[in-house]
Structure 1
Amino acid sequence: MYLKNDLVRIIQPDFVYVAEKNNKPVGFMICIPNMNEILIHNKRGRLLPWGIFRLWFGKSKIKTIRVLAMGVIEGYRKQGIEGFYVQCD
């Protein structure tokens, strides 16, 4: 529950994928924006005082995502559902 409260701030609904089979959820994938695209430009490695502004205003320039969690119900594994997630845009 504690993790959920922290993740709600950064996870966007567009980055949550649910696989369904016969209207039953069988898998999920949760992604987050790849903040490394912004942090790589912070040469000194400090987030404060000015790096936080780069992070805040650079969020719109992020072009990739990172997979935070992914899972498929055991009975539905090895049916290509995992591969579908890799090809999601």
Structure 2
Amino acid sequence: MGPDTLNRAISKLFGRETGRKKQPPNKMGGLEHFTVHDLRRTFRSLAAAEGVPGHVAERCLNHKLKGVEGIYDRYDYFEERKLAHQKVADRIEPVIRL
């Protein structure tokens, strides 16, 4: 998968496809266009709002810890990441079910 594959797929849903004269139909209605990075940023913000510690939220995004901490801390935070994802899922579920 290329580095821009998901963004291209999302753009196609919004009726935007680069290099084509005839654009695909917009299947997203009036929803504002977004990218994969927007989804990651939203997750990070919601995780913070739910009280997820910063180092756990960063690991959820597959970011490496920097400096000495990144060198010495090899723990995978699996259970903590699982809980963080559940907290964010619980927060957005009522919105999705509208």
TM-score, normalising length: structure 2: 0.31
Q: Which has the larger share of helix? A: 2
**Bigger Rg, structure 1 or 2:** 2
| Higher RCO (CA 8 Å, separation ≥ 6 residues) | 1
